Amino acid sequence: MSGDPLSALANPRRREILRLVWVEERSAGDIARTFDVSWPAISQNLRVLKASGLVRERRVGTSRMYRADRGALRPLEAYLRRMWSRDIDRLRLLAEAEEKKRSKS
Amino acid sequence: MSGDPLSALANPRRREILRLVWVEERSAGDIARTFDVSWPAISQNLRVLKASGLVRERRVGTSRMYRADRGALRPLEAYLRRMWSRDIDRLRLLAEAEEKKRSKS
DNA sequence: GACTTAATTAAGCAGCATCTTAAACTATCA
DNA sequence: TGATAGTTTAAGATGCTGCTTAATTAAGTC
């Protein structure tokens, strides 16, 4: 339990997840579908985010809903918003995906 | 060149270094002496901090002086100050050092 | 109870991070 | 120029991260 928020934020995929659940909660599956990786990969990243206190989980039937914990994120909000408004992070994710494809071919 | 600031901040040692050079610049050796690791380890961490734009380097004779780039750090300052004022980070470093000793014995 | 849907946990692997020691570099000064 | 002090770079060991597939758990439905 209880991970380091800055370590959680070090990963661009987790930052992108955080952006997805910033304004409204979403189910794990809903989140997973927006990425090009396996469900477990997303589930693991959600666990890290939860352990660091950056997202909250709510169980609804067989689903689990996630949302950003805006309170915990307030002192980091300035930075994240800048980053997102410049779309730096999505570019980084794309670049890394490209990089992977390239190294495999 | 040009690393990710949040990745740079994911490491507690680098955060501690950042705290050291927050108010005044310090030489690499000066910084290294305050830690219980080798000089190259600190040098490498300084390089990461510099690559991510969080610290500035100035050469003076054979020494290199480092200081935090307060401008680049402004949107993260709220978070860092809280962390440092609670001394969370130093406790984390100590805990990790203990952990290491334990696993070696 | 058996089946389906939603999601997590487990196990294993590849790649990255961080440390170490040894070698190299750079500026200063006798 | 040769020696020294301050620091970085190189090479290598070791552990951590983040992914994958397979197995498992949990809730709802027939």
pLDDT band at A51 (very low <50, low <70, confident <90, very high): very high
B38 CA from C22 C1′ (Å): 13
Taking the CA of residue B63 and the nearest CA in chain A, the distance in Å comes to: 31
Strand C neighbours (CB under 7 Å) are: A 27-30, 32, 39-40, 42-44, 46-47, 57, 62-64, 103; B 7, 10-11, 13, 37-38, 40-41, 44-45, 48, 59, 61-62
Is it the case that residue B92 has pLDDT exceeding 90? no
Residue nearest to nucleotide C22 (CA to C1'): B40
Q: Is A40 on the interface with B (CB under 8 A)?
A: no
Least-confidence region, from A55-69, A80-94, B85-99: B85-99
List of chain B residues whose C-beta atoms are within 8 Å of the C-beta of residue A76 = 76, 78-79
Q: Write the CB contacts of B30 (distance below 8 Å, at least 6 apart in sequence).
A: none
* A36 burial level (CB within 10 Å; 0-12, 13-18, 19+): exposed
**B17 against B97, higher pLDDT:** B17
Angle between helices B70-85 and B88-104 (to 10 degrees): 70
Q: State the pairing for strand pair B63-68/B26-27.
A: antiparallel
**Looking at the partner chain, which of B10, B74, B79 has a beta carbon nearest the beta carbon of A75?**
B79
The model's confidence at residue B105, banded by pLDDT at 50, 70 and 90, is low
User: pTM of the full predicted structure?
Assistant: 0.91
Nearest nt by C1' to A57 Cα: C7
Backbone conformation region of residue B61, classed left if phi is above 0, alpha if psi is from -120 to 50, else beta:
left
Please report the pLDDT score of residue B1 as a whole number. 59
Residue B10's alpha-carbon distances to A2, A10, A53, A98, B6, in angstroms, are 15, 6, 15, 24, 6
**Tokens standing for A17?**
């997840």
Total count of residues recorded for chain B? 105
CA angle A82, A74, A89 (to 5 degrees): 30
Q: For B73, which DSSP code?
A: H
Residue B104 has pLDDT above 60, yes or no: no
